[in-house]
């Protein structure tokens, strides 16, 4: 009987959950990771720590399974922004979490400058610090992240997929 694993990289920890074809639970593992609050309104995660936790909970879960794994799904905290080096897979900055408000003023500036219609047309989104683009801009302008041919940007799920596939998939 085939097994499906769900990997959940949440805001405070990661989970691995396995079900069989009938939807019966076969196993569950969980590990917390560190929340970093460098300033009021700022929230960061160490993406490498999240990866290490994903590997640990997945290995722990796999050790309990007797059937082959047919598929793995990923769910996560969505708008948490990661910048990493394509050569090494190592993060270039702590991930800026969806709750982080450091770019709120920049989003207001862009809105006041009349950029909201373009953002809505191209993305369907509003200008808000919740979304990832302003976080990546902050990393590039203020966080010491260099824009070079080895830079990769993505949300947590993008980075995890990239890591899980050995750098073959960036989606």
**Does the pLDDT of residue 88 top 80, yes or no?**
yes
Q: Do the domain assignments include residue 101? A: yes
Supply the range of the domain harboring residue 10.
Answer: 3-164
Q: Do the domain assignments include residue 60? A: yes
Q: Do the domain assignments include residue 171? A: no
Q: Do the domain assignments include residue 41? A: yes
Reported pTM: 0.93
Chain segment 93-135, per-residue pLDDT in tens: 999 999 999 999 999 999 999 999 999 999 999 999 999 999 9
On the 0-12 / 13-18 / 19+ scale of CB atoms within 10 A, 136 is buried
Residue 79 sits in a domain whose CATH number is 3.30.420.40
CA distance 54 to 16: 8
């Amino acid at each position: 009987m085939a097994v499906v694993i769900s990997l959940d990289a949440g805001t405070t920890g990661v989970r691995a959950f396995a079900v069989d074809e009938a939807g019966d639970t076969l196993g569950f593992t969980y590990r917390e990771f560190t929340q970093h609050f460098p300033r009021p309104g700022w929230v960061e995660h160490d993406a490498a720590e999240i990866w290490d936790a994903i590997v640990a909970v997945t290995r722990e879960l796999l050790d309990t399974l007797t059937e082959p794994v047919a598929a793995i799904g990923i769910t996560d905290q969505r708008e948490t922004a990661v910048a990493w080096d394509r050569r090494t897979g190592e993060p270039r900055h702590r991930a800026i979490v969806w709750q982080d408000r450091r770019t709120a003023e920049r989003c207001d500036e862009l809105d006041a400058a009349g950029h909201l219609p373009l953002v809505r047309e191209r993305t369907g989104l509003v200008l808000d610090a919740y979304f990832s683009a302003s976080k990546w801009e902050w990393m590039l302008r203020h966080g010491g992240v260099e824009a070079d041919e080895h830079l990769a940007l993505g949300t947590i799920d993008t980075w995890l997929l990239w890591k899980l596939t050995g750098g073959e998939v960036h989606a």
